[in-house]
Amino acid sequence: MIKASVDLVARAIEAASAVRAVVPELPPIAVVLGSGLSSLVEGLADSVTIPYAKVPHFPAPTVAGHAGNVVVGKLEGAGVLMLQGRFHYYEGHPLQVVTFPVRVLQFLGVRTLILTAATGGIRAELRPGNLVCLSDHLNLLGTNPLRGLHDERLGPRFPDMTEVYSKRLRSLARDEAKRLGINLIPGIYACLPGPSYETPAEVRMLQALGADVVGMSTVPEAIVARQAGMEVLAFALVANAAAGVIGTSISHHEVLEAGKKATPMLAKLIRRVVLKVSGIEPGKTGLTGDFPVMGDGL
């Protein structure tokens, strides 16, 4: 167990070194792209792409909609690193593997992490295409990515989770969403292991627990990022109504299509948040830095 803990740090440092060998100067802001949202990288200027296969200890994504690249570029002069695809607990990975990219970001000096995910809407009024800004979460995986013997280089043994999702960043995102005319809805994310979608009875349970959206990712990454001292912001795209909410079946194709349609809206919001966090006023550089419109838009 001690060896496993030491090996995690060693692997993360080795992977970070491989990324630095390609891109020596890395930005302190990173974005993790969820299902159907990989095309967000197309708006980056001066981008460099590193396939996950070229990063030591990164497994290959196995889920449609997760391309599997580290992409570093600029938005109106603001540097950002994007992870084009993630790993999931339901793929059979232990949570140390699921969250390994966040550990690598930690050793790359990332201080702000923006997470995105496609989710099912539990709250009755949520509809496909709605965008939720996470205010809190329910970890219902039955385990925690911080389990095991501890290494101080990873952060505190018992990290505080009072404010997993930064109030400051949520306020900033809310203000920028208003300027863009986007209805950004606060909500609580319930994380289940998957890969099957939830049953109507499970959705009723989640409603009783106070969840607004449900998914199979994001929460382990957020926990690790907070232990690492990162400021976390998370957006959940409502890709479908959860089972039993409106009585229709659910498919992964539906999730991917919703992601494509929502890309322009989410891309504009992420761009403005990245610029604000970087201390750049949107539109002041003389560059548009905007993302291309994908799909039909919303």
pLDDT of 245: 63
Residue 3 has pLDDT above 60, yes or no: no
pLDDT in tens, 37-72: 666 788 789 999 999 999 999 987 766 554 789 999
Residue 187 has pLDDT above 60, yes or no: yes
pLDDT of 5: 54
Six token digits for residue 100:
């390994």
Residue 263 has pLDDT above 80, yes or no: no
Q: Where are the domains of the chain?
A: 2-277
Residue 190 has pLDDT above 70, yes or no: yes
Compute the average pLDDT of residues 175-182: 96
Residue 204 has pLDDT above 90, yes or no: yes
pLDDT of 85: 85
The top-scoring range by mean pLDDT among 92-96, 184-188, 279-283 is: 184-188
Compute the average pLDDT of residues 86-111: 95
Q: Would you please indicate which residues are annotated as catalytic (active-site) residues?
A: 35, 66, 88, 90-91, 118, 216-217, 240, 252
Give the other-Cβ count within 10 Å of 97's Cβ. Answer: 19
Residue 202 has pLDDT above 90, yes or no: yes
CA distance 232 to 134: 10
The SS3 assignment for 140 reads: coil
Placement of tokens 């339901």 in the chain: 90
CA distance 257 to 36: 7
Residue 247 has pLDDT above 60, yes or no: no
Peptide bond into 195 cis (omega under 30): yes
Phi first, then psi, for residue 224 (nearest 5°) are -65, -40
Going by C-alpha positions, the residue among 297, 200, 292, 199 that lies closest to residue 257 is 297
The top-scoring range by mean pLDDT among 47-61, 112-126, 222-236, 264-278 is: 222-236
Residue 1 has pLDDT above 80, yes or no: no
CA 174 to chain centre: 17
Architecture of the domain delimited by 2-277: 3-Layer(aba) Sandwich (3.40)
With beta carbons less than 8 A apart as the criterion, state whether 272 and 181 touch.
no
pLDDT band at 248 (very low <50, low <70, confident <90, very high): low
Residue 84 has pLDDT above 80, yes or no: yes
Compute the average pLDDT of residues 234-257: 69
The top-scoring range by mean pLDDT among 86-90, 228-232, 294-298 is: 228-232
Compute the average pLDDT of residues 158-178: 98
Six token digits for residue 91:
């793929």
pLDDT in tens, 14-31: 999 999 999 999 999 999
CA distance 238 to 91: 22
pLDDT of 132: 96
With beta carbons less than 8 A apart as the criterion, state whether 215 and 119 touch.
yes
- The kind and range of the H/E element at 177 are helix 167-180
pLDDT of 296: 26
Going by C-alpha positions, the residue among 217, 215, 220, 76 that lies closest to residue 147 is 220
